[in-house]
Structure 1
């Protein structure tokens, strides 16, 4: 998986996690954003970071 795809996946999962907590807090079990909408938001975040000069790069593994 390319680094950018991995970061996109992490952002999508973070959005899902945040939405689940929001739904639990409000006792609203409905779906707030579809998977496609979450991916679109994650893509927009990546684009915004890129426009600010951030680059997706894999960090070197930490020694064990």
Structure 2
């Protein structure tokens, strides 16, 4: 039988790394999943600039005019 993992100390959750800079973002961070307000704004800027895209079906521009 496998040994269960030891419990983590309270308040010491490692959380996930910030998707922008890679620094650890505590689970209790107010800007979660980002480590700071700056990284949150950088991510928003990337979305607004079109750096991120959600894949989908190709669109025929001529078909939309009709």
Higher helix share: 1
For normalisation by structure 2, the TM-score amounts to: 0.30
| Structure with more contact order per residue of length (Cα contacts < 8 Å, sep ≥ 6) | 1
Higher strand share: 2
For normalisation by structure 1, the TM-score amounts to: 0.31
